[in-house]
Amino acid sequence: MTMTILLRSSLTVLLLAVTAVWSGCSAEDTTQMKKTDRESALRTAKAEDTSMKTIGEIVAADYRTSKVFAKYGIDFCCGGKVPLSVACREKGIDPASIGREIEAVRSEPIGRSQDYASWGLSFLSDYILNTHHAYLKENTGQIAAYAHKIAEVHGARHPEVIRIAVIYDTIATDMASHLRQEEEVLFPAIKRIDATRKAGKTPETKDLNAIKTCLASLQQDHTKIGEALQTIRNLAKGYAMPDDVCNTYVITYNMLKEFEGDLHKHVHMENNILFPKAAWVSEVSG
């Protein structure tokens, strides 16, 4: 398809050049028109190529593209295995137009601090632990306490907050055991394998097996927790603030929104970057 577009573009460039000569344009004008047309054809080709990739692959290659997906309400973490063309069809969005927005974001200069896909396994594991796991440990209990407080005070007028508090408790419980499995089993195994390979040695079988057995169940946890958070968002009507509520209500909704944003990034880094890298390394080392 890309080839067809480039051939079509070349023909267009030729026609433009002939037209320019006949209409008396200068050689400089013609060169500029050719350049502009070629750039436009390349942009279209890249956008079409992007539409064949999954959302997870696109965001894993450049996290800055997540803001385009967030803008259109496209799930890039738990539901990131869907090709862009399919996600666009489901949302009624023109894939070429979103492809151009993605290319515009990608064309901005990127620093290594944002280029997560280029990070090594140990660095990625430590980063996730020190940012996202630390955030969860610091905030999960506080959000649960606030959720129960607003359920008590506002539950009669806003019954949805009672359900939100119950669902959030389940998330907190599931999250605690999920983090334990990552911190006590998966991440240490990943880091030992990474260090062993860097030393030119063969990783231990128990570490390779730990990766093989952990990844599927951890991804199932991500999906379950992601769905529960989506239910909370729906109950909270996208975190729209009612008029008759107190400050704690406002703080709780803001914290839930922040929790959801942090979790999307956290799950994206694991599902789309760390886990595929770890799976690949354990496959080639086994």
Residue 3 CB coordination number (10 Å): 8
Question: From CA 21, how far away is CA 215, in angstroms rounded?
Answer: 62
Q: At what angle do helices 2-22 and 27-51 cross, to 10 degrees?
A: 160
Is residue 78 part of the contact set for Fe ion (CB under 5 A)?
no
Q: Give min distance, CB of 219 to Fe ion, in A.
A: 8
- Choice from 270, 272, 278, 281 touching Fe ion (CB under 5 A): 270
Minimum CB distance to Fe ion smaller for 41 or for 175: 175
Minimum CB distance to Fe ion smaller for 68 or for 225: 225
Which range in 31-39, 68-76, 206-214, 267-275 contacts Fe ion by CB under 5 A?
A: 267-275
Largest CA distance in the chain: 79
Taking residues 152 to 191 in sequence order and writing x for each that binds Fe ion by CB under 5 A, - otherwise, the string is: ------------------------------x---------
Give rounded-to-5 percent helix, strand, coil for the chain: 80, 0, 20
The three-state (H, E, C) secondary structure of 3-29, written as one string: HHHHHHHHHHHHHHHHHHHHCCCCHHH
Q: Give min distance, CB of 67 to Fe ion, in A.
A: 22
Q: Give min distance, CB of 178 to Fe ion, in A.
A: 6
Minimum CB distance to Fe ion smaller for 165 or for 269: 269
Residues 6+ apart with CB under 8 A from 221: 174, 178
Minimum CB distance to Fe ion smaller for 182 or for 194: 182
Q: At what angle do helices 247-268 and 205-235 cross, to 10 degrees?
A: 140
Q: Give min distance, CB of 223 to Fe ion, in A.
A: 11
Contact residues: Fe ion, CB under 5 A:
182, 270
